């Protein structure tokens, strides 16, 4: 299994012979055609910094199926009806699972309490009605991708009995996402072997997040954590035994 980080919350997962992109907000990638063509795109929710408004460009190059929460899929079917065939969309909601070419995909719960300021920023910046809730997390072949979430015990409950080799968790600490301490709490409860921090790049130039990977590493140095922390640079990959 190989996991590649592309900034914000965008990851490429290569597992079981499949290439899957999560939340393809590709702000730092100048040429999408330079990226490996995926077999599947998975969205956690519809906020612009998770790629919903880039789907038109991504689909032109990739022509692959799309999975996401039912409310978001309904919106995408309307917005992209002239570009993307309806049969290319599949809805999945919290607690549901599906098989994609031998990869079992489980949608998990999140807690994303976006405040009024956050909602205003998203509304002014994107002028889009793409639904920001509900948010799905996902578990695929040992990789847990949380989407946007703060700490909630429901995550560990949903993953009970499953081996989490790597967890990708937000650490920014603003706009309804976890801070480094909460990310460590989640990783510990789900017994993750490794944690990749995400969702700490500034949404726009004037809107930075509160915490960065350096804060996560500093916190980890004061605690006896049972998992490794892997802050990945944009384009950097982590190889994990299947």
The secondary structure of 2-54 as a DSSP string is EEEE-STT-EEEEETTEEEEES---TT-S-GGGSPPPSEEE-S---GGGTGGG
Pairing of strands 103-108, 137-140: antiparallel
Report which of residues 120 and 161 the model is more confident about: 161
- Which residue, 101, 23, 117, is CA-closest to 67? 23
The SS3 of residue 221 is coil
- Which residue, 188, 183, 219, is CA-closest to 198? 183
Residue 186 contacts residue 139 (beta carbons within 8 Å): no
Residue spans of beta strands (DSSP E) within the chain: 2-5, 11-15, 18-22, 40-42, 66-68, 89-91, 97-100, 103-108, 137-140, 143-145, 166-170, 194-198, 228-229, 237-239
Count structural domains, the chain.
Answer: 1
pLDDT given for residue 128 in this prediction: 63
Which residues share a beta bridge with 40? Answer: 20
143 has a pLDDT exceeding 90: yes
Q: Give the least confident one: 11-25, 41-55, 148-162.
A: 41-55
- H or E element in which residue 214 lies: helix 213-220
- H or E element in which residue 122 lies: helix 116-126
Report which of residues 129 and 11 the model is more confident about: 11
Structure tokens at 3: 């996991």
Quick: pLDDT tens for 121-140: 555 555 567 787 899 999 99
pLDDT given for residue 115 in this prediction: 57
pLDDT given for residue 31 in this prediction: 86
Question: What is the Cα gyration radius of the chain?
Answer: 17
Average pLDDT, the chain: 92
pLDDT given for residue 121 in this prediction: 58
184 has a pLDDT exceeding 90: yes
- pLDDT band, residue 188 (cuts 50/70/90): very high
Q: What is the CATH number of the domain that holds 163?
A: 3.60.15.10
pLDDT given for residue 232 in this prediction: 98
Burial class (CB in 10 A: 0-12, 13-18, 19+), 44: buried
CA angle 165, 171, 176 (to 5 degrees): 115
pTM, entire model:
0.94
Quick: pLDDT tens for 65-120: 999 999 999 999 999 999 999 999 999 999 999 999 999 999 999 999 865 555 55
Give phi and psi for 153, each to the nearest 5. -65, -15
- Which residue, 204, 96, 181, 1, is CA-closest to 73? 96
Domain holding 121, by residue range, is 2-239
pLDDT given for residue 242 in this prediction: 79
- pLDDT band, residue 162 (cuts 50/70/90): very high
């Amino acid at each position: 299994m190989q996991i590649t980080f592309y900034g914000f919350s965008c990851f490429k997962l290569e597992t079981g012979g499949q290439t899957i992109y999560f939340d393809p907000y590709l702000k730092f990638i100048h040429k999408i055609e330079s990226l490996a063509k995926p077999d599947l795109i998975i969205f956690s929710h519809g906020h612009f910094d998770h790629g919903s408004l880039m789907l038109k460009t991504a689909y032109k190059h990739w022509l692959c199926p799309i999975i996401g929460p039912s409310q978001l899929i309904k919106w995408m079917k309307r917005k992209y009806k002239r570009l993307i065939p309806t049969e290319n969309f599949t809805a999945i909601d919290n607690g549901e699972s599906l098989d994609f070419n031998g990869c079992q995909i489980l949608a998990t719960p999140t807690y994303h309490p976006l405040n009024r300021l956050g909602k205003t920023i998203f509304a002014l910046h994107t002028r889009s009605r793409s639904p920001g809730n509900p948010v799905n997390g996902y578990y695929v072949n040992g990789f847990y991708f949380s989407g946007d979430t703060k700490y909630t015990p429901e995550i560990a409950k949903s993953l009970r009995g499953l081996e989490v080799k790597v967890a990708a968790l937000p650490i920014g600490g603003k706009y309804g996402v976890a801070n480094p301490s909460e990310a460590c709490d989640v990783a510990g409860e789900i017994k993750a072997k490794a944690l990749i921090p995400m969702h700490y790049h500034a949404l726009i130039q004037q809107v930075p997040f509160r915490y960065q990977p350096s804060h996560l590493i500093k916190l980890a140095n004061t605690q006896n954590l049972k998992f490794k922390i892997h802050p990945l640079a944009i384009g950097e990959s982590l190889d994990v035994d299947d």
